[in-house]
Structure 1
């Protein structure tokens, strides 16, 4: 079935509402664990390394969710996959709120990640074809609600005095409200992208892009997860106060996405990615100065914003094929799995001041990968 015909089968207003709602929910959940980490650490008496397991399990679940969504796309239409994801997310939210033990909290965190991965990939791929020639503009428009959610989540935790339970219950309620909407959409079966044939050079480049996205999401997720803990430790802030400051990271991140749309018309993807990572490294170096940390993290959000979306364009031009994009998309979720325990371990050894230093190290690693890719692709 062609994208144009598929669009005709989907009520545009209801599909737009589903897209807005799904992206809003994803935006609310994406940064939620970071502001919740101090409360969870106190509740279950966790060290920094122990708390990092919650982040790692969440990211591992998201990785598995992307793979599950790709597998189900062969037989399940997008609304059905989205409904499954919403059910998983609602269950994960309730599980984390009600978990009496750390083991059950870990399981709930993994379940949240699983639902997140399924909904993230399903919604992005679904909307990228559902509106025919207007798909690109509609996807950009609808996905703006992700940024809104990412700003509201830490603010909600901050207003609740650092208590994440009520905001998570709100996310569960939103997932439940969106669930019936999915069953009103008549979607065609998701189309399977043709399998790409990779040469030795394209395999090497693909591996490079896997490294780029893996380290990038490690940085982005690391700031979102550990900023509250760092600000609490070096500025003696309450959890609620630190969580409110964290919202500025996502405000600037959302603004950065808008600005990067204009910059992408003037700069080639490789150059924009490298420039953004250079500036992000500088701002994270500034975050090592306690008094400057709130401003530095806000700038970091602005500078990191272009990397993921511009990197996807760079990937598509370098290694075309749906298989490459799916693999890189899935691998990106492994970033926090690998790097959150590292941040937690250094925090345990050297205190909260080690958090921005470790994140700076990961950013420099990401920058090195980007520079290596750019050099390898020069004629």
Structure 2
């Protein structure tokens, strides 16, 4: 029985790993291929950057949809739906010559990514509670692997086929493979509520959303997305314009960034597994390292060797930040997991909607250095809400009322309702 449960967890992890490889490829391709998409749809580069805003808006919509449906239909169905949506959008993106259709496809891709992120985070929290931080780091390394593979595929197909479509189709194919694997999987689900408990559930939502701690965690993800998505989306364009080289030659800068991100998450998982550092110390080190490395890229984009190495270091240090923040947030709000996950990911979506297009505007109208400084500063500033969140958590634990935390409050409310 124990052996069977272990095998099921391994197979589940492998399936989710495939799903995140798909999201990594699909999410990473629009950045380095943006000039081609702009030319394909006959719009200026800064106008084409609005597809990032459309994707982020879709991401927020997907988060809301997943948060409201996850108890009713289960996270498995939501993951499958997300993969199908991403596959469809990935097929449309390189073929359309109409910019409104490209924006719609980006919005659809964002919805798919949003519902995936919420449901996968819930699945992992329920299936791997004993190794949550380590598992999230290892799982999210597959996103980095996909994001690493995307620009590499793009570079290869551009040099061989002179067309970007093949790279996008690989992402769609992997999404379909993920759906086929997941169909036969057993996936843990959140407990459902009866209609008579809906009023208490609404109270619980209000309780959770009033917690300053939740919004401090949300701010950390807002800043992280500004750093990761902003850098990953614009690094190829920034290097290409600064050093006057082709997109195919500049694509390895995105590749080394995503390679660093993947390596960072794998190393982060091993660091936590071997207890070499605590989650908090790892987050501090990574936020500072990603920020300083990003500033090197912003200041010296024309020094190709320097900017190339620094791009890899940005990824290496940024890698553990997302899974680390999500692990801490999920653990602190485990009794209101769908509400907390949705709130954190909506914050990430807002960041993705605002900051990448802002960076694109600065690159086009002010300069590459000013634009690429934004992701670096976002990474550095993470340490402020992280410190405040830890202070708030410690204050709650050591308050005059005892060790009655938010989790305890929510759990007590649930138990009281069950008694009623």
TM-score by length of 2: 0.79
Change (3 A) 1:140 1:191: farther
**In structure 2, distance between residues paired with 1:358 and 1:130:** 37
CA deviations over 1:323-343 (Å, ceiling 9, x no partner):
223311332122111111211
Deviation, structure 1 residue 52? 2.1
In the TM superposition, 1:189-228 aligns within 5 A as 189-191=189-191, 195=204, 198=207, 203-228=211-236
Residue in structure 2 matched with residue 311 of structure 1 by the alignment = 325
In the TM superposition, 1:184-333 aligns within 5 A as 184-185=184-185, 187=187, 189-191=189-191, 195=204, 198=207, 203-264=211-272, 265-287=275-297, 288-290=299-301, 291=303, 292-316=306-330, 321-322=336-337, 323-333=339-349
CA deviations over 1:163-205 (Å, ceiling 9, x no partner):
43211112222223333333333556543597466389x6222
**In structure 2, distance between residues paired with 1:95 and 1:18:** 25
Deviation, structure 1 residue 64? 1.4
Aligned residues: 374
Change (3 A) 1:18 1:329: same
| 1:77 to 2:74 alignment | yes
| 1:62 to 2:70 alignment | no
* Alignment RMSD (CA, Å): 3.1
**In structure 2, distance between residues paired with 1:142 and 1:357:** 29
Change (3 A) 1:358 1:181: closer
**In structure 2, distance between residues paired with 1:248 and 1:24:** 16
Deviation, structure 1 residue 92? 0.6
8 Å CA contact 2:227, 2:374 repeated in 1: no
Change (3 A) 1:158 1:172: same
Residue in structure 2 matched with residue 361 of structure 1 by the alignment = 377
Residue in structure 2 matched with residue 349 of structure 1 by the alignment = 365
8 Å CA contact 1:86, 1:176 repeated in 2: yes
Q: After alignment, is 128-137 or 358-367 more displaced? A: 128-137
Q: After alignment, is 78-87 or 34-43 more displaced? A: 78-87
3-state SS of 1:74 partner:
helix
Residue in structure 2 matched with residue 18 of structure 1 by the alignment = 15
3-state SS of 2:43 partner:
coil
Change (3 A) 1:35 1:8: same
Structure number with larger C-alpha Rg: 2
8 Å CA contact 1:316, 1:325 repeated in 2: yes
TM-score by length of 1: 0.86
Deviation, structure 1 residue 70? 1.9
Change (3 A) 1:96 1:309: same
Residue in structure 1 matched with residue 183 of structure 2 by the alignment = 183
Deviation, structure 1 residue 115? 1.0
